[in-house]
Amino acid sequence: MAEFSGSAELSIVGASDIDPLGLARDPQLLNDIDFVVQEALQKKTSDILASCGNLYYRIDGKMVPQGPAPGLVDSILQLRPDLILRLADVSGSGAEDFALEICGRRFRVNVYRARGTLNAALRPVPTEAPPASALGIEQRLLDRVLQTKQGLILVTGPTGSGKSTTVNCLVDYINQHRACHILTTEDPIEFVYTPKKAAIEQREVGADVNSFEEAIRSAMRENPDVIVVGEIRDYATLKAGLQAAETGHLVFGTLHTRRVASTISRAITIAPGPEREDVRGALVNSLLMVVCQLLLPRANGGRVACREIMVATAAILNLIREKNEAAIPSELSLNRKALGTMEYNQALKILLDEGAITQTTYDEYRDNQKSITHA
Tens-digit pLDDT string for the chain (375 aa)? 333 233 233 233 333 444 445 555 566 777 899 999 999 999 999 999 999 999 999 998 899 999 999 999 999 998 988 888 878 775 667 888 888 999 989 999 999 988 888 999 999 988 777 787 777 788 888 999 999 999 999 999 998 898 988 999 999 999 999 999 999 999 888 888 999 999 999 999 988 999 999 999 898 889 999 999 988 999 999 999 999 999 999 999 999 999 999 999 999 999 999 999 999 999 999 999 999 999 999 999 889 999 999 999 999 999 999 999 999 999 999 888 788 899 999 999 999 999 999 999 999 999 554 433 333
Whether the CB-CB separation of 37 and 48 falls below 8 Å is answered with yes
Residue 1 lies in a domain: no
Looking at the fold, whether 338 and 367 belong to one and the same domain comes out as yes
Query: Angle of helix 359-367 relative to helix 344-353, nearest 10 degrees?
Result: 170
DSSP collapsed to 3 states, 89-127: CCCCCCEEEEEEEECCEEEEEEEEEECCEEEEEEEEECC
Residue 52 lies in a domain: yes
Check residue 151 and give left, alpha or beta (phi > 0: left; psi -120 to 50: alpha). Answer: left
Looking at the fold, whether 180 and 226 belong to one and the same domain comes out as yes
Looking at the fold, whether 289 and 220 belong to one and the same domain comes out as yes
Range of the domain at 111: 6-125
Looking at the fold, whether 88 and 142 belong to one and the same domain comes out as no
Looking at the fold, whether 294 and 367 belong to one and the same domain comes out as yes
Looking at the fold, whether 111 and 144 belong to one and the same domain comes out as no
Rounded CA-CA distance 114/128 in Å is 33
Residue 40 lies in a domain: yes
Burial label, 347 (beta-carbon count in 10 A; 0-12, 13-18, 19+): buried
Looking at the fold, whether 85 and 176 belong to one and the same domain comes out as no
Looking at the fold, whether 136 and 230 belong to one and the same domain comes out as yes
Last residue within a domain, chosen from 125, 147, 166: 125
Q: Which domain CATH number covers 18?
A: 3.30.450.90
Coil vs helix vs strand at 182: strand
Q: What is the largest CA-CA distance in the chain?
A: 65
Looking at the fold, whether 145 and 227 belong to one and the same domain comes out as yes
Residue 241 lies in a domain: yes
Handedness of CA 182, 186, 56, 62 (dihedral sign): negative
Rounded CA-CA distance 356/173 in Å is 25
Q: What are the backbone angles phi and psi of residue 230, rounded to the nearest 5°?
A: -55, -40
Looking at the fold, whether 101 and 140 belong to one and the same domain comes out as no
DSSP-assigned letter for residue 128: S
- Name the domain count of the chain: 2
pLDDT tens digits along 55-71? 999 998 899 999 999 99
DSSP for 245-310 reads HHTT-EEEEEES-SSHHHHHHHHHHTS-GGGHHHHHHHHHHHEEEEEEEEEEE-TTSSEEEEEEEE
Rounded CA-CA distance 275/256 in Å is 21
Looking at the fold, whether 145 and 110 belong to one and the same domain comes out as no
Residue 291 lies in a domain: yes
Nearest Cα residue to 264 out of 234, 290, 296, 295: 290
Residue 309 lies in a domain: yes
Residue 345 lies in a domain: yes
Q: Which helix (H) or strand (E) holds 57?
A: strand 54-59
Question: What residue type is assigned to position 213 of the chain?
Answer: E
Q: Which domain CATH number covers 275?
A: 3.40.50.300
Last residue within a domain, chosen from 94, 125, 156: 125
The set of long-range contacts for 2-11, using a CB threshold of 8 Å and a minimum separation of 24, is: 2/29, 2/32, 2/34, 2/35, 4/34, 4/35, 4/38, 9/38
Last residue within a domain, chosen from 108, 125, 142: 125
Determine the pLDDT at residue 28.
76
Looking at the fold, whether 232 and 305 belong to one and the same domain comes out as yes
Rounded CA-CA distance 152/238 in Å is 10
> Alpha helices of the chain — where are they, by DSSP H?
6-18, 33-42, 72-77, 84-88, 139-147, 163-177, 212-219, 235-246, 260-269, 276-286, 314-321, 328-334, 336-339, 344-353, 359-367, 369-372
Burial label, 223 (beta-carbon count in 10 A; 0-12, 13-18, 19+): exposed
Determine the pLDDT at residue 279.
97
Question: What residue type is assigned to position 229 of the chain?
Answer: V
